Structure 1
Amino acid sequence: MTNKNGTVYVMSDSLGETAEQVIKAAASQFNSGTTSINRYPYISDKVGVEEVIKEAIKENAMVAYTFVCPDLREFSERMCKQFQLPYVDILGPVMEQFSKITSVKPKLEPGVYRKLDEQYFKRIEAIEFAVKYDDGKDPRGILRADVVLLGVSRTSKTPLSMYLAHKQIKAANVPLVPEIKPPRELYEINPKKIIGLTISPSQLNEIRRERLLALGLGDHSSYASMERILSELDYAEEIMKGLNCPVLEVTNKAVEETASKLLEIIREENDND
């Protein structure tokens, strides 16, 4: 069976970015088909390797890996050969040659390179987190977040999440809509990790009207009506009171100003822990 789309399964005991970049560089030399890369980071045992290989078998995919542990490299090679999967050990041969020319044994410690610029990678991880768990896309992010932002539509939840991400803080945000029950995960975490955002009805009305016009829609939609806005804000206030979480007023405030207040709250909570 051929693999017309050039599907590649990437495994790593760290982020796997090195392997992904190498595969992309190689794939750019071919014009046929679209390469699909499935990355599996932080694999630390043979069970994890086996699970990925089983998925790769279904698509007759190529397997690439950057394991520093010799046992995981050898196990991956054996499995790929057993199931006749094309494979490439990206890191192993280079490490072996370095060991020969330097007469020094490798540390065999995953993520050493990443630790050279840990702040950079923490920021990247936080940005990826903010994108993945933006606008309540996946409520599971609530349980993993450093902070969860709540508010009705157009209260700067997404810009604030991204701003915090650049400060290496993993932020998830959840929109509050009267017709949709808040995710149960909100009630399973410390309410001090949740921060509500509120805004004056008049400014929200103005922001929503401008948003509708920017989208080429009329500004008479119920989305921008004062009746709807008051209903949403009342509902949001009720939810926030029920959660007993801190609430920040964002009316006439720049994202940086609100973020500064957010960071103060986060620092205070960390100091009290």
Structure 2
Amino acid sequence: MTTIADRIHLHLLSDSTGETLEMLAKAALAQFDDADVVRHFWPMVRSRQHLDRIVPELKANPGLVLFTLVNPEARARLEEVCTKNGLPAVPILDRVTEALEKALGQEAHGRPGRQHQMDKAYFERVEAIQFTIAHDDGIGWENWEEADIILAGVSRSSKTPTSIYLANRGFKVANIPLVVESPPPPKLFELSKPLVVGLTTAPERLVQIRRNRLLTLNEQSQTAYIDNERVKSEVAFARRMFADNGWPVIDVTRRSIEETAAAIIRLCSERSHKSGGDFEGVKAI
């Protein structure tokens, strides 16, 4: 049983939105079981004056301080406060930035929130999200050649959430549900630019997901949609199509959306390298 003594306060201070800081903290905390952590989130800290308003909270709730501050004055003030009050403070991007400076032979600019600037990459991500939303569930197949990735799979095989996740990483994605009685548009087999990826999953798991979906919609549970043999046939139909067309296949049964997306991005990279093209990779958000 966790006691008050086992609880720690985790202060996250960022000079930008704090998204990077939160993700890193979450990834690190995932390595610990039943950690009782009280998070204190302080975004957009860009001046000593702002930091001074936070200092009383640091003193009142002593704990671990993780920060990404590039303003020298604010950073010096934070380090001074932490040292004086015995608070461990970790500048989580310093080692990475130092390594990049050495590898690139240049100094980092030290601009807060630079990854969130409304530059070309930002607008490309917005365009990717708009494209992906407009080409969900087989819609707009006439424009599929403009996509970077096409996801194909039976109903409830994580096509839409994976598409949205990839769109947030800058990829234009379309997806198409594979239905035995309704063949996909011929366009799907004629594409040259997009990478077509098949998503599959274990029939038993698919039945469970579909049954839960019907329950949330208050619909009848005894339908062909969740019939075991029927679902097995659907999955087999999709797998044959993947094999016949030489499309890479990802089994999402035990994968999170993030893991599936990472595998797809890797496929994009490998395809680009084989074709001799340049792969820009994932754009920071």
Report the TM-score, using the length of structure 1 for normalisation: 0.56
Q: What is the CA deviation profile of residues 99-121 of structure 1, one whole-angstrom value per residue up to 9, with x for unaligned ones?
A: xxxxxxxxxxxxxxxx9511211
Q: What secondary structure is seen at the aligned counterpart in 2 of 1:194?
A: strand
Give me the CA root mean square deviation.
1.6
Asked if the contact 1:191/1:243 (under 8 Å) is kept, the reply is no
Question: Please, which moves more after superposition, 147-156 or 238-247?
Answer: 238-247
Q: For 2:221 and 2:182, how far apart are their aligned partners in 1?
A: 24
Deviations 1:136-193 (A, max 9, x none): 0121132111010000000000001101101110011011000111211111113971
Contact 1:210 1:219 in 2 (8 A): no
Partner residue in 1 for 2:101: none
Cα distance between partner residues in 2 of 1:144 and 1:192: 7
1:196 aligned to which of 190, 195, 198? 198
Structure 2 residue 189 is matched with structure 1 residue 187? yes
Counting matched residue pairs gives: 159
* Structure-2 residue corresponding to 1:248: 250
Structure 1 counterpart SS, 2:215: helix
* Partner Cα separation in structure 2 for residue 211 and residue 251 of structure 1: 16
What amino acid is the match of 1:164?
L
CA distance, structure 2, for counterparts of residue 147 and residue 118 of structure 1: 21
Q: Report the counterpart of residue 53 of structure 1 in structure 2.
A: none
The structural deviation recorded for 1:254 is 0.7
For 1:141 and 1:153, how far apart are their aligned partners in 2?
A: 22
Unpaired segments of 5 or more residues in structure 1? 1-114
Q: Provide the C-alpha distance between the structure 2 equivalents of 1:174 and 1:154, rounded to a whole number of angstroms.
A: 11
Question: Residues 155 and 198 of structure 1 are in contact (CA less than 8 Å); yes or no, is this contact kept in structure 2?
Answer: yes
Amino acid at match of 1:217: E
AA matched with 1:255 = I
SS in 2 for 1:172: strand
After TM superposition, give the deviation of residue 218 of structure 1 in Å: 2.3
Within 5 A, what are the aligned runs for 1:51-130? 117-130=119-132
Unaligned runs of 5+ in 2: 1-116, 276-285
* Percent of residue pairs identical: 40
Equivalent residues of 1:133, 1:139 under 8 A apart: yes
Task: Output the amino acid matched with 2:146.
Answer: R
| Cα distance in 2 for residues equivalent to 1:191 and 1:208 | 33
Contact 2:242 2:249 in 1 (8 A): yes
Equivalent position of 1:138 in the other structure: 140
User: Is 1:267 equivalent to 2:269 in the alignment?
Assistant: yes
